[in-house]
A and B are shown apart, each in its own frame.
Chain A
Amino acid sequence: MERLQLNETLSNNKEVRKEISQEAGVDISLCYQCGKCSAGCPVAFAMDYTPRQIIRMLQLGLLEEALGSKTIWLCATCDTCSTRCPRQVDVARLMETLRIKAKSKGKITDKKSDVFHDTFLKLVESYGRVHEMGLIMQFNLKTGQPLKDAGMGLPMLTRGKIHPLPEKINDNGAVKKIFEKCRQLSAGGEQ
């Protein structure tokens, strides 16, 4: 991160705190930076900022920097942090909210993760259920790695663990409608 004048960023911090509280239902000012979240985080080794650092950034008004981190995309939402936090800060909920926010601003630092989850949800919208073989094949194609895990394809087919055709539910209009309505409401700012 480049050098920052904190007396300038600090002026944002009330606004950031309010925004996060509204969107995630999490009060970041509760955090006293003990680091328990990050000590227990199973993905911290791969992150650019630990969960504790992300919260500190937000407390200092550095929202854009937090949204540009890899951390929010690497979080596996395993909830270890939220379970252990002595101040009841729901860190995992905060991470998923930051990720949704980053995506809405077009700040996507982990393209593969974004493609994976979008592909997953498109399949659910189309068929009402997720088609695992379709998910992996589409993901691999869209991310330019068509042969990834290809060796597993045949053994999975012969074991009946993947199916070439998706399973559908009869009344998938109901699921399509759920997607449509959520899009409208979320666009209107409903949480």
Chain B
Amino acid sequence: MKYAYYPGCSLNSTGLEYNMSTKAVAKSLGVELVEIPEWNCCGASSAHLTDHLLALALPARNLALAEKDGLDVAIPCAACFARFKATEKAVRDSDKTQKTISEIIEMDYQAKNTTLSILDVFANKVGAQAVSALVSKKLSGLKAACYYGCLLVRPNKITEFDDPENPISMDNLMTAIGGETVNWSYKTECCGASHAVINPNVGRQMLRDIYRDAKLNGANCIITACPLCMSNLDMRQQEVASFAGDAAYDLPVFYFTELMGLALGYQPKELGIDKHFVDAIPLVNKLGQVQAGRDSA
């Protein structure tokens, strides 16, 4: 299994744990990731709010580079993934757009290749069963609130992945590595994205709802597949608690790839788990020590 790999800007910076753990897990699962040479920023959430054409052209340059090598693209970041998928579809659906975009990027781009989120690759192309067979440390004691956020599953006709209201890919992976997942209502609610920076009081309210629902349903951590969701959920817990007058939520936040990495035998440091703001190490140390609930038989 071989994919063109698009890490995106955050994965070299605020989301570096996601990059480390994705690469580690891919290696263990036999998924070859070839980084797109000289990739550029996809424009993420800023380009499509500013200029419709720019929002298509920025991802298109990367897609065209991968297409030249005949590779589908695998992307960890949910926001980059959504922009790539939107571009792919716009170019496939309209000859006029295909021509315009190819002219802008000065490369022929036909949208013959496709984009997959790394979650899709691990959960469905490799498959939870195959992952389960490779697990060396079962993560019993994990009670995960799997948080998909907006852009992995919406709009479904563009992302073509999982269910837009009740996705289960990440839950299946967490179960495959010996953890439990909780049923909760905020799986696909928005974390506020850049509101945490632009309009903090709006962002804080949105984050608070997510923490509270995760706790209410018995989760001991939140799992994400997006570097922006991670930044918001991990870095702003203290700030949100004091804004709302709540007690500390004390919810470690993980990338799903970090937990897969632990189950596949990597050490927390190799996966970047020591870099979190909410200290995740105490929970990590407990995982695998308690008898698993439904998996123990």
Contact = CB atoms under 8 A, between A and B. Distances in A.
Interface of A: 42-43, 45-46, 74, 76-80, 82-83, 90, 92, 96-97, 99-100, 103, 110, 112-113, 116-118, 120-121, 124, 128-133, 136, 139, 149, 152, 155-156, 159-163, 167, 169-172, 174-175, 177-179, 181-183, 185-186, 190-191
| Interface residues of chain A: helix, strand, loop or mixed (majority) | helix
Nearest to B54: A182
B14 A156 contact: yes
A43 B50 contact: no
Contacts of B47: 121, 124
B150 A78 contact: yes
The 7 nearest A-B residue pairs measured at CB: A78-B190, A78-B150, A79-B154, A120-B46, A117-B46, A182-B54, A159-B275
Given A83-B164, A124-B40, A130-B9, A155 B277 contact: yes
A110 B58 CA distance: 25
Contact of A83 (B40, B61, B156): B156
Given A83-B155, A110-B198, 9 more contacts: A43-B190, A74-B199, A76-B192, A78-B154, A116-B198, A124-B58, A161-B16, A185-B100, A185-B104
Given A130-B41, A190-B100, A74 B202 contact: yes
Nearest to A179: B54
A163 B9 CA distance: 12
B46 A186 contact: no
Interface string B14-35: 1010000000000000000000
Contacts of A171: 38
Max count, chain A CB within 10 A of own CB: residue among B16, B45, B105, B197: B197
A102 B109 CA distance: 32
Contacts of A110: 198-199
B49 A160 contact: no
Contacts of A152: 235
Interface string B45-83: 111111111100110010000000000000000000000
Interface of B: 9-10, 12-14, 16, 38-41, 43-54, 57-58, 61, 100, 103-106, 150-151, 154-156, 164-165, 188-190, 192-195, 197-199, 201-202, 205-206, 235, 275, 277
10 contacts: A76-B150, A82-B155, A100-B50, A112-B198, A116-B198, A120-B46, A124-B43, A132-B14, A181-B57, A191-B53
Contact of B195 (A76, A80, A129, A160): A76
A96 B190 contact: no
A161 to B, nearest CB: 5
A174 B58 CA distance: 10
A113 B192 CA distance: 13
Contacts of B194: 76, 113, 116
B150 A103 contact: no
A190 B14 CA distance: 35
Nearest to B150: A78
A131 B49 CA distance: 19
Nearest to B192: A76
A186 B55 CA distance: 12
